[in-house]
Amino acid sequence: MPSQHAILAPSASKRWMTCTPSARQEAKYPSKDSVFSREGTIAHALAEFTLNYFLEEKAVYVPEFEVFQKRMRQENPSLLLDLTVQCTDEGFDFWDIFEIVYNNYVTIVYEDFLNVKKEFEDAELLVEAELNLKSYIPESFGSSDAVLIYGEILKVYDLKFGQGVKVEAENNTQMLCYALGALLGPAELNGIDTVQMTIIQPRLQHISSWSISADKLIQWATYELKPAALKAFNGEGEYVPGDHCKFCRIAPRCRACALRATILAESNSEPSELTDEELADLLYKLESIKNWTSKVEEYALQQAVSGHAIPGWKVVEGRSISKIQDQQSAMADLFSAGFEKDLVCKPVELKGITDLKKILRPKGFEELLGKYVVKPQGKPTLAPVSDKRPEMNNIEGDFNNVIL
């Protein structure tokens, strides 16, 4: 996997295409990795290793992870040893990550390849395929997790290991960039007609695919991507706040975000009521404003704690709750004082589903406990009409059993 970052990375394309000056501004701040990004890097390394392992015919593909795991335990390849040590240092469960990646990404991509191979003998599966975006995005480089080329079809796969939000492939600029880079790169000579983009989020049980013709992809790249990329590369254009600010490194100090939040605060102080349309517009904006305000607080606290004073603010000790430190001794004293266990101790409680799945592995969990799992109805939540979930129907009484 590439460790360097391009100024205009496809993964941030939504941001720099919408707010073109952001890329140059962000480049002034170092990018920080997080526990989530480090876990994602390990997951990607395992995905790459495993797909190549089968492609290089080091062993016959098996769909069962347990069989593959046994083989790996015997072979102990050096990369896996390194990753195991990394996982131990980080407190990650190596085999847990490997099983998730194997069952929910490797099998999908590799079985797609095997199926296609039956009809197209010269089908090619490329792992970490190098992208060619240079005629549309200045100084851009990168690779796609997996690319499958057969006949006039190009398929691009993207593994997202995080547990945040579900991401859809439709009109996703990051996926469009990957597709374009693969179309002009490894698939350049294949006369591709259709491009399919697939996002796989194993830990959210989410797969999203979307297709576009190669002609439309080039049109998008020519009329939307390239002009925005040139502006972004030159640091030109307007600052435009929105949902895309979520991971922007300058967000806590962004004047455009601050101005937008202030304008909303002022409009709220008007004596007249908001119309339904204004309320709808406000709801769209509030999510990203809430996200931004918590970033500002977090950033300012970090600055203050590290000695950079924020005028009019100081660091104080937050509230804390008293607790009994030595629970065993406290219990012993209570029992010797004649108190019954049931009276002073909490009842024994089963661990959560995530922890139990780690202990039993997903298959064992399903076999042993699947029959006890229920999913209670969720509370009504407002979502934009574009949300994939079906609408709850008040008339038929969907809200009857829910407490707001």
Binding footprint of ligand SF4 on the chain (CB under 6 A) = 15, 19, 22, 25, 239-241, 244-245, 248, 250-251, 254, 256-257
**Residue located via tokens 């549309």:** 136
Minimum Å distance from CB 311 to ligand SF4?
22
Return the number of the residue (25 or 69) whose C-beta is nearest ligand SF4: 25
Return the number of the residue (129 or 245) whose C-beta is nearest ligand SF4: 245
Sign of CA dihedral 294, 295, 299, 302: positive
Burial class (CB in 10 A: 0-12, 13-18, 19+), 365: middle
Minimum Å distance from CB 291 to ligand SF4?
10
* Partners of 154 in the β-ladder: 149, 195
Return the number of the residue (22 or 196) whose C-beta is nearest ligand SF4: 22
Give one DSSP letter per residue of 26-48, joined into a string: HTTSPPPP-HHHHHHHHHHHHHH
Return the number of the residue (32 or 314) whose C-beta is nearest ligand SF4: 32
Return the number of the residue (71 or 255) whose C-beta is nearest ligand SF4: 255
Q: What is the DSSP letter of 250?
A: T
Minimum Å distance from CB 60 to ligand SF4?
48
Among residues 53, 35, 49, 40, the alpha carbon closest in space to that of 11 is found at: 40
Minimum Å distance from CB 267 to ligand SF4?
19
CB of 200 closer than 8 Å to CB of 157: yes
Return the number of the residue (126 or 245) whose C-beta is nearest ligand SF4: 245
CB of 24 closer than 8 Å to CB of 235: yes
Rounded distance between C-alpha atoms, residue 146 and residue 297, angstroms:
39
Minimum Å distance from CB 255 to ligand SF4?
8
Minimum Å distance from CB 310 to ligand SF4?
19
